[in-house]
Structure 1
Amino acid sequence: MTSVCKMLEQVLVNGNRFYRVQNDQTKVYPSITTVLGSVIAKPELENWQRKVSLLEFKKQLQLCAERRELPGLGTVQILPGERVLEDMVRESMTAPDKICDMALSFGTEVHAIIEKLILTNADDMPCDPEYVTVKDSFRAWRRQVESSGSKIIKTEVQVVSKRYGYAGTMDALLRTVEVPSGKEIWTVLDWKTSNAIRNEYALQVAAYAKAYEEMTGTPIDRAAVVRFNKKGSPTYEVKTVHNLEEAFDAFCSVLHIWQMTNQSLF
């Protein structure tokens, strides 16, 4: 099992992730997640952001509002001045971003723990309590796939498609040997700690698969998302893309929209 040598350099352009091939400094490639995140609408995320902001504003208002006893009126709440209200609005608007940043940090640490477990071929390793459930969920999944004869061959694999113009880092490559034919089945894997496996993830892993095929010439048979539980019992959920070609065609459509809207059209 190997971790692929880093051939791509991550760069940020206007806050979005791009990749640059180390021996070619003249061109940058958008990351797969940048493309998908910029184009595919997430109404449920927008609703969540509004809800979090409103709840934060309510909390700030309750903390700042002053209760006074006024003759003939009883107890009343005196609201803060305009300047304080403006500060509260700004603070409330940033609340969703703070939660998202925490989730991103959590996911980054989870990926690091899983990568270390794979590279060291260890069954277990110490980690902070908040990551134990995810770690044990991964261990349960790995025991299940290895008992069926499958094995993770590579982890944190950087891929780039110069033909289509995108890049990314896929989490793992799984090899399964069919019995009794002995045929090797190659599966691209992506780890998730989200609350659900969304359809756009199928486009993401399909893009990884096609870029890996382009780079190596190795045909990818399957692509799957493995979601690990964050709290409670260590459980996992696996979903395999039904049709890789259709999922990749859909990704190419999204990529084309991203490319067109990130250039001058007038």
Structure 2
Amino acid sequence: MYTAQDPRSSLAPAARATSTPTAFSAASYCRFYETPPQDTDQNGRVWYGRGANFLVAYTLAEQGGAFSRKGQIDEWAIIVPDRDVRVEIETPASTTVVEPYSIAFVPPGDSTVRVPTGGRIIRIFSTQSADIAAKCENAATYASAPPNIPPFQPWPAPKDGFRVRAYSLDVGGDSGRFGRIFRCTTLMINYLDPRMGPRDTAKLSPHHHDDFEQGSLVLDGDYIHDIRWPWTPDMAIWREDEHAQCGAPSLTVIPPPTVHTSRSIAPGLNQMVDLFSPPRVDFSMKPGWVLNADDYPMPESR
């Protein structure tokens, strides 16, 4: 249910689910500001949270902090959300400087991220990285596979091979596009347009996804996530509505097929990032929505 002004109102209607759910997952809330970091050393502090297919490492790096991956199994992402933080990504092939206020995708294999000035960075992986998955504060939620989500399948590799690819978040607004969407083989990241002040509660966007989670990563401000589970013939699996307040930094994982919407409530800057794994087909089918679509092909079956 989108307003006519919401670009998502132009999405093709999703196919109806062919079966009624027999089980539901709970929503998962990682309020990093309320918990101690899982990692603390001379490089900085790191909080970890996860969904079924994605992992978030929210990092406050010390000056000169370095974060390495050895034998990384698949492609991953890094967000540099602040305009006074620059990072360097070293791989066996090259060293890439990622400018402030950017997003980058990092190839499988060995890599090191260095943060010369210190500052916050957000690294995002698939759950194929079992060592990171084990650190997540909500790891117990995913001790068994959640219902209503198919097995993870990565998307095709870039036509010209894997390498570090960096993109500025300084992308001009477009009334026909929803947010600032980037994808790789494992992830889709929508760096939503910032909201100044509370959202108009007469213009919310309750919607649902039949078979994939949404990660809502709050970087600035304060949000309330409104989540409603559908009623099914089996009353034993019904759940109460939730209206969860989550400040910054936090990760909320919204399970399918709940109806959900999020509303900013802080008086100043409110910044949220939506995460999906693997990438969404419906967003990818919209011309111009995925800003790096030329670099990452869709599966041939789509």
Identify the TM-score tier after normalising by the shorter chain: under 0.3
Write 1 or 2 for the structure with the bigger share of helix: 1
TM-score for the superposition, normalised by structure 1: 0.26
TM-score for the superposition, normalised by structure 2: 0.23
Write 1 or 2 for the structure with the bigger share of strand: 2
Higher relative contact order (CA closer than 8 Å, sequence separation 6+): 2
Which structure: larger Rg? 1
